[in-house]
Structure formats: structure tokens, C-alpha cells
Structure 1
Amino acid sequence: MHETSINDNEEIILEVNNLKTYFKLDEGILKAVDGVDLQLKKGKTLGIVGESGSGKSVTTKAILQIVDTPGEVEGEIKFRRRKNGEIIDIGKLHSKGSEVRDIRGGEISMIFQEPMKAFSPIHTIGNQLTEAILLHDTKDEKEARKIAIDTLEKVGMSNPDQRIDQYPHELSGGMRQRAMIAMALCCNPSILIADEPTTALDVTVQAQVLDLINNLKENTGSAVIFITHDLGVIAEMADDVAVMYLGKVVEYTDVDTLFFGALHPYTQGLLQSIPSLAMINQRLESIEGTVPTPINLPKGCGFYSRCKKAKDGVCNVDDIPFVKVKEGHYVRCVLVE
């Protein structure tokens, strides 16, 4: 899918090729991620959208090699290291080895969806921030604590000198999310993965968190992978967008084309389900049905059973190829010319 390889363009810092994450269960093989291609450039934001169960979070966990057992990861995950520009395949590294642990948290960080689960409840916020800083940046505990306090201040935490010694349960939801962002940013990563960082936050705090990520990206030059099901957030945050369904990318394009020229029926359905001020006495469009469990799926398009445009004998016969429609725009649909 990629028009330029990471080997040929220094602006590209992450390239994922044919990424697969399978779980061998008693019922069969669950294909959570099934042949995903992605590319990320310095200072850019890649949005990944789709319903729950489409494989968004598992894709990013596979990049960091933190997929839960019995998940098995295959495919290329090429990453350009910050220290020397060396390109390594993270997929070939041992998930508990020293090299991938050096990258994880130090060069690629993640804001997890639920900070209350991501933080240890028996350690203070400061303990957990300084642990990461001591592992990746400095061995001086006083300096590590100062970096942690400075980072908490950067993410808009009030009274960081006091907050650093508090436990996660002593903070509000918005404060915990800021602490989670500080944890991800304290080592100045090259790539920040944000897994629905505004879930369960009220609207004002959500806007503050989004502004914070954008400002930090501009100030540090980090690239961002932003996972969400909210297309309004994608419009504000992303440069390029990958729409996922059943473990596959069904459409990949820049954010403007996504909103004004989407071609895949699933993407169109997502866009039509967004409420607008112009809708008066109109029913909101919806995509009927739910995302099926990706075990022993029939051949053809995964969206076939829910697609209003589906054609029997066309869409449900063979696996659908990912084709280039125009420069930078790819679609997985046989009905698109």
C-alpha cells in the first residue's frame, strides 16, 4: 500500500506491513488484526477509527509488543530510532527483551484508555512517573522527580508539587487523564499513541486534553497515533485516517478526503451517523447490526451482512483487495471503481 518506504524517506518513522494478531481459542482462530498496513511521519497525526471490536487498540498493542496471551503477532513493524536513525523491526524483538523495553515508554509511549486501570493503585503518581524517567533518561532520583513535576505542570496539572505524592484514587477523572498523558510524555517520545484518551471525560476536559496533545505535538515534534470512534475528534486532530473494520483497514486517506470524498460504504455510514445542527425532525442514520466476532468468518467483505449496497455473488465470493483509488487514497471495496 505504501507509496514510499521508510528506507527511502527520513520523514517516515513508523511503517507497519501486513500486521496480524491472532488468538487461538477453542472455538477457532480469532483474527483481531488481519493484515494491517500503516505509515506514520514525523510531526503528523494518524487517526484510527472504527466501532468497538474493529481491532484499533489491538493494532497499537501489537506495535508495542504488549498483546495479551494467547495472542500471536506477525508482520513487519519498522521503526526509525531517535538515537541513531537506525531502522529496526520491532516485530522481531522479544516482547520482554531489553531492546523493546528501551523503545517502549522511551521512544514510543501510550496513553491508555482507562487511567484507573493503567496506574498501579498502591503507588503514588510520582513513583510511577519517576520509575519511567529513571529507566530511560537519568539515574538521579532528584532530577527524575523534578522532570516529573515539570511534566505534570506542562499537562496543566494544578499544584504539581502536591499532586505528585498522591495516589490515583485521590485524583479526579480529568486529573488522572492528565497524569496518564504526563506519564506518556515524560521521556519525550518520538511517537505518542493515544487510545481514546477522552473517554469518560466531560466536554470541557475533553477539549482541554485534545488541545494539550496538539500543543505538545507541535512543541516536541512527536508523531501521534490517535485511536477513537468519534469522527468529530478526528476532524480536529488527524492528518491522515485509517478506518478499520473486523481487523482490516477498509479505507485510508487524508482527513479532508475522508469527510468530503469517502468511498467505502462503512465509512459513509459512520459519517451519516454524525448529528448536525441542520437536522430538524429527521431520524439519525445508523448502521444496522453489530461487528461480528472475527472467528471462522465467511469469504468476502466483512461488512457484507450490514452493507446496504452489498451485491450477492460479488461482495461475498473472495477476499477483497485493498486498491489505490488516487494518490494517498486506498479502499477495500469491489463496488468502488
Structure 2
Amino acid sequence: MAATGDIVLEVKDLTTHFHLDEGILKAVDGVDLTIKRGKTLGIVGESGCGKSVTSQALLRIVPKPGKVEGQILLNRKKDRDQAKVTDLVKLDALGKEIRDIRGGEIAMIFQEPMKAFSPIHTIGNQIMEAILLHSTDNEEKAREIAIQTLKSVGMSNVEQRMNEYPHQLSGGMRQRAMIAMALSCKPSILIADEPTTALDVTVQAQVLYLINELKAQNDMSVVFITHDLGVIAEMSDDVAVMYLGKVVEYTDVDTLFHGAQHPYTKALLNSIPAINKENQRLESIEGTVPFPMNLPKGCGFYSRCKHAVDGVCNKEDIPLIKVKEGHRVRCVLAETNLE
């Protein structure tokens, strides 16, 4: 990547494979992504499609025996004037440089804050730890930053919450505390891995509004991972639809909802409940996502696709085809009318 002010992170041919006794499990298999400054990239797909493993690969926190390959090119704050980039794949996953990037340059809101927070340390202690690691070595200053950050995410009774443990907070408060910890060091990129899971609808709306508001205030880029297309419509500028470890469609959010071309994307859109479908059965996608090991050649969606052509779709692996500027589809039928 030629580092520019518009692109914060570029991912090229990213793979995350787990070498097991049974074979190679291809959780992420050749993903390309571009994250622009101040924009939100939505990553959507069914459970098991590789969304969360992709986010783990960006932070180099993939558990063993996972192996990350490809390129993750980060335009770091300190290097922007020099037009330099850092390839995160080449860094030692346990080294000082990647530890400086985690939290400092790229932060993450985990799917389940109850598991992400330490149960034996207070909320304030855990947020201060991140600040002391990346921003200042003054504990009094770190506490002040932590309090201000908790206030910025709408936490009530902040002085009291600083001394409480994760189990003492409600689900919405824990999620706010997780967002505060992620934002405490003013990262360039925020990865939100299904941050509204297990929250009631009202709290979900509050969390989504909060992320959008903080993104605008801090000129931050967001990678929003979800299986909810309604959230994608609300939050995203660009969207990557993933299936079986690959990006099958990549475009802007308006084109996704009004001009999607991949059969999987269309099937997802058709399964959304709508007011004008009253008394009609919801459409579903037959079958399940195949286990990503020892897969046959061809399109991963072949066994579930109503438009699949034998001898074409299952013959060779399908590349991303450029339909138009900013719109790529992994389907040999992408340029034909699939309706």
C-alpha cells in the first residue's frame, strides 16, 4: 500500500489456518479489506464464516495453532507524514511493537465483555492499565483520563463504577466500560465484534449511537462485525460479506441493499423480516456453512445456491470479479441477471 491520508489499514490475501491432526482448517482464506479514515467497514455473514477470526488476525491474537499469513498494512500515526506503513504480519505476535499497536493504534470491543474483563480486578484498574501502558506513566493522570472516558460513554456514578468489579455491572454498563477501555488511548481503528450481543433492544440502540458519535468526535475508523443486516444498514459505509472464510461481495452499503449480485448476499437480504411480507413465511437459506477443512474446489456456496451451474461453479476456485468501481463479487454469474 502506498500510505495515504485516506487509508488507515489495508489487508491483502489474509489467511488464518489452523494446522490440526485432521488437516488444515481454513478459518480465513484470502481476505482483502480496505479501512478508510473516519469510515465504518461492516463485516457480515453467518456464524462460522470467519468474521471474528479475521478481527483476531488484525490484532495478531489468533490462538494457537493458528497461523496468520498475507499482509496487514497499517498506516500508523507516527508514520503518516513519512508515508510509511507497518506490516503487522511480519511483527512478533508477542513483541513490544505489536503490543504498542494493540490498544494504542487498534482497539477492540469484544463480543462478551463478561469474559473479556478480568473478574478479579476493578473496572477502573483495568482501564487505567491500558492508559498507563500507552499514554502516560502517571497514575493520577491515568485515573483522570479513565474517569473522563467513562463519562464520555455515558456511564453514571463514574467514581463508584471505577471501584466496582465486572459482575457488579449490568450488561449495558459492562459494554460501556468495554467501549471506554477501547477508546481510552484514542486509537485510529476500533474493531467492534458484535458489541450488541445479548443486550436488549433499547441498550443496543444506545450502544450503536454511542459508537457513531465517538467515531465522529475522534475521526476514528470502525470495523463493525455483525450478522445483523439492519445494524449494517445503520452503521456502515462499506460492507464485506463473508462466507466460508472468504469475502464473497464487497461494496458500499447502498449498493449492497439495492444492487447486490452474489446469491448468498441476496439470500441474506431476502431473509430479513419486512412489513410488506405480512402472513408470509420468512425465506431461509437451506443447509449450513460447510466445515472449512478439506473443501472441494469451486464456490463455497455451491451446495446451497439455487443458481449454481454444475461444471462451472464447482470446477475451480472463484476469484473476486470487479462488477464496477468499488463493487466486487466472487461469482461467475455476477454479470448476469440472477433474479
How far apart, CA to CA, are the structure 2 residues paired with 1:115 and 1:281? 38
How far apart, CA to CA, are the structure 1 residues paired with 2:228 and 2:103? 26
Identity of aligned residues (%): 73
TM-score (norm 2): 0.97
Letter aligned with residue 219 of structure 1: Q
How far apart, CA to CA, are the structure 1 residues paired with 2:5 and 2:219? 14
Letter aligned with residue 200 of structure 1: A
1:225 alignment partner, SS class:
strand
Deviations 1:202-254 (A, max 9, x none): 00000000000000000000000000000000000000000000000000000
Partner of 1:240: 238
For residue 65 of structure 1, the aligned residue among 51, 60, 64 is 60
Letter aligned with residue 314 of structure 2: N
Q: CA deviation at 1:9?
A: 2.9
How far apart, CA to CA, are the structure 1 residues paired with 2:234 and 2:213? 13
How far apart, CA to CA, are the structure 2 residues paired with 1:256 and 1:8? 27
Partner of 2:307: 309
Alignment of 1:244-259 (within 5 A): 244-259=242-257
Alignment of 1:1-337 (within 5 A): 6-7=1-2, 9-85=4-80, 86-337=84-335
Q: Are the counterparts in 1 of residues 3 and 75 from structure 2 also a CA contact under 8 Å?
A: no
Q: CA deviation at 1:10?
A: 2.1
Q: CA deviation at 1:106?
A: 0.6
Letter aligned with residue 13 of structure 2: N
How far apart, CA to CA, are the structure 1 residues paired with 2:156 and 2:75? 35
Q: Are the counterparts in 1 of residues 18 and 65 from structure 2 also a CA contact under 8 Å?
A: yes
How far apart, CA to CA, are the structure 2 residues paired with 1:97 and 1:18? 23
How far apart, CA to CA, are the structure 1 residues paired with 2:198 and 2:310? 41
Letter aligned with residue 320 of structure 1: I
Which 4+ residue blocks in structure 1 deviate beyond 4 angstroms? Answer: none
Deviations 1:109-157 (A, max 9, x none): 0000000000000000011000000000001101101110111111111
How far apart, CA to CA, are the structure 2 residues paired with 1:184 and 1:236? 21
Q: Let me know the Cα RMSD of the aligned residues.
A: 0.7
Q: CA deviation at 1:84?
A: 3.0
| Pair 1:190–1:8, CA change in 2 (3 A) | closer
2:79 alignment partner, SS class:
coil
Q: CA deviation at 1:335?
A: 1.2
How far apart, CA to CA, are the structure 2 residues paired with 1:172 and 1:116? 10
Q: CA deviation at 1:292?
A: 1.0
> Where do 5+ consecutive residues of structure 1 fail to align?
1-5
Report the number of matched residues.
332
How far apart, CA to CA, are the structure 2 residues paired with 1:7 and 1:15? 10
How far apart, CA to CA, are the structure 1 residues paired with 2:3 and 2:194? 32
> Where do 5+ consecutive residues of structure 2 fail to align?
none
Q: CA deviation at 1:26?
A: 1.5
2:104 alignment partner, SS class:
coil
Q: CA deviation at 1:8?
A: 5.4
How far apart, CA to CA, are the structure 2 residues paired with 1:139 and 1:314? 61
How far apart, CA to CA, are the structure 2 residues paired with 1:334 and 1:297? 19
